[in-house]
Every structure is written in C-alpha cells, then in structure tokens.
Structure 1
C-alpha cells in the first residue's frame, strides 16, 4: 500500500505539478485547495505527510497546521512541509513553532522536495511502524526520475526534454519563461527575473500554450510533466 501525501495549495498548476511528480515517485496523493478543505481530507485520508502552502483563502497554512497539531492523534505525525513564498525569518519561526518539520521556499526544485519527502517518510515509518519504506516505492519510474533530475536543474531539463520528446521548437526565451513558470512564478515575477514587462511575458506564455496545444497554466504544467516523465 503506497504512502499517502496530502498536497494543499490554492494554485491549480502547483497542485498538478506536485501530484504528478509524487505519483510517479510511487506515492498516493490527495489534494486540497485551502486549509479548510484540507482538514476534512486529513480526517478522511489520514495522510502520512502534508505539503502545504501558507497564503490561501478561507484558511491559511498556519491555521491548518495549528488545528492539525491540536488534535491528540496528530500532535507529532504526520510530518508537515511548508512550501511557500513567505520566506522571512519571522515566517519560518512561526511555522516551526506551530509544528511544521521543514520549510521550503518557492520557487522550489522538485528534486530537493523529493529528497525531503523521502527522508521525512523514512523517519515516520521507522518511528510509527518500526520498518523502512517498502521497496515498492523504489520503482523504475522513481529511479528514472531521480536520474534525470539529478543531471541538471529540473526546470531547464524539463523544457529541453519537451523539444526533444515532442518535436516542439521553443526559442531560448520561451524555455526561460517555461522554466520559471514550472517553478510557480507569476507573470509579474517572471518578468522581474528576466527584466521584461508582464505584457511581454504574457505573449511568451500565449506562445507556449499555442505550441503545446494547451489552454492554461495547469494544462501546460501537466503537458510538460507527462512529456518529460514518460521517457
């Protein structure tokens, strides 16, 4: 039985990107759009690990973790990873005080997140069940993903693989925009990184939609993951 991971983020593209990657790595993934929805999922699914954003509508990540840790059977487990753009020292201290285990800033690298997830789950299983993570999680797909992702920066490798695997010709600038988009950056933040206006970034994103036959960021992320991870 695969270990269950709860992914909580109000951004659809981020949820799809994380869930696709984790599922290929051998985990069962359940998703929620905000902390309020996540509380119901926690009770129903009893996840082995939670990955959550902080800034979300209805209930933010801080309140979610506070309420989870307030429940007697969740005081220590499951482990919690904050995956967020809130990166100040004050934010991190508050997160740790509420009961998170790891604080990862956005934009993030999937290969690093994958390593953190496995490390936390190994400790979780050892402490709660007294045995290591089953070998079934070390699937061929997981080995393949790890091998590919360790060769270079994840987002750059993904954008390059689309050109090779799907015969899609992207310009150098489109590859840069795609790499930053996959890391969860908005058009404004991508523009800041590349010293371009948000309107110019919109044109590049529209070009990516056209070339990949997708209609929005979520579809583009899924298209990218499927074309990259299927090889």
Structure 2
C-alpha cells in the first residue's frame, strides 16, 4: 500500500491540558498535512465530537474535569464514535498504565517524552489499518449488503468483542485482551450472531465496520 499522504486534510482531535505540548504537536502535525482540532480536557472533547468527525483521536490521560480513561470509555460506548482510532499520549509509562489504557479502549499507547516522528508513524499506521478494514469490509463491489434487524442491541461487553473482531483479532486474541476465557468470547460471538441473524464472524465484522460508516 502506498504511504498515506493526507489529501483531504485528514482530521485529528488532539486533547491535552498542557498548552505547550498542544502547540508543539499541533504545529508538527499540521506541518505534515493534517488538520488538527484541540481540546484541553475530555469534557470539552466530547462537546467537539457532537459536531466534528475526526479520523483519529490523540489524548492525554491525566486532565481536569474529565480524564482520558473516562473520555475513551465515552468514545467507545457511542455508536457514532466507537470506531475512531484512539492513541493515548501520556507521561504514565509503567506496564500497568499501558495495560489499563489499552483495556479501556485505546488502540495505541505512547509515553511522553516522545519523538515527533514516532508519533506521526503511529498516526499513519493507525489510519492505514482503519482504511484497510474499511476496504476489506467493502470487498469487491459485488459484495452483498449486510442486513440485520433494526432493533439489535448489543451489551457493553459484546460491543467490546465486536470491535476487536472488526480489527481482525481471533477469539483467542480477544480473550487475552479482555482477560476472559476463549469460551466466554465464543459465547459472546454466538449471541451476537443470533441477535443479528448473521452467519459468521466475517459478516459480523463487516456489519460492525459498515455501521460505523453508515
């Protein structure tokens, strides 16, 4: 795949309560061709998400009013935003901090201080992965449309599982990430297939991705 070069001004939402970091990161990302929207805490960022539709979120953890953990949970529990690639950028660098950040819903966890080039590489990698998933979900133009009942409601845990399925994870990988047994994951997948009247995990992943872009 060609290296990702934003053409329509790929939009990033940057959230941090340090104005100096906001300025430096915003300038660097804008220099690389991205449009950058900023907020100084999770509460303000949620307000921004009501109108904005960012392609990716970069977020600090320790912030006033609403921290990053609470914010990412809100993002993942909202049908409109739950598929947005999410990167935590935090000074909390212990192993347990990384595990907590990823388990809360982040896709990438970077520790401050960081090299700007590494941040750009992580952003581009996450955007490429999201694009690959979208292209795969579309498949050939002749791929049948995924249809499910209008009243389908998934539990919070099922939403977590289907998100990881849509990322291409196996049941075993999902189980490791959620710290549950593989049998539990298989049960969640089976329940979702019954609810949606879909036939397999591939259709379930396609439906999850297409729901985001509907």
Assess same fold via TM > 0.5. Answer: yes
CA-to-aligned-CA distance 1:97-155 (integer Å, 9 cap, x gap): 1110111001111010011111111112232356xxxxxxxxxxxxxxxxxxxxxxxxx
Greater mean alpha carbon deviation, residues 40-49 or residues 105-114: 40-49
Per-residue deviation, 1:45: 1.0
Structure 2 SS opposite 1:74: coil
Are 1:22 and 2:29 matched, yes or no? yes
Q: 5 Å matches for 1:93-108?
A: 93-108=99-114
Kindly indicate whether residue 75 of structure 2 is the aligned counterpart of residue 68 of structure 1. Answer: yes
Structure 1: which 5+ residue stretches go unaligned?
131-231
CA apart distance, 1:73: 2.7
Partner of 1:83: 89
More helix, by proportion: 1
Separation in 2 of the partners of 1:95 and 1:39? 18
Match of 1:92 in 2: 98
Give the alignment of 1:211-226 within 5 angstroms. none
Is 2:129 the counterpart of 1:123?
yes
Structure 2 partner of 1:157:
none
Aligned length: 130
Secondary structure of the 1:103 match is strand
User: Structure 1 segments of 4 or more deviating over 4 A?
Assistant: none
Question: TM-score, normalised to structure 1's length?
Answer: 0.54
Q: Corresponding residue for 2:41?
A: 34
TM-aligned CA distance change 1:129 to 1:15, over 3 Å: farther
Deviation at 1:22, TM superposition (A): 0.7
Greater length-normalized contact order (CA 8 Å, ≥ 6 residues apart): 1
Task: Give the deviation of 1:20 after TM superposition.
Answer: 0.6
Please provide the CA RMSD for this pair: 1.5
User: Residue deviations 1:27-71, cap 9 Å, x none?
Assistant: 110000000001111221111100000000000000000111011
CA distance in 1, matches of 2:41, 2:131: 27
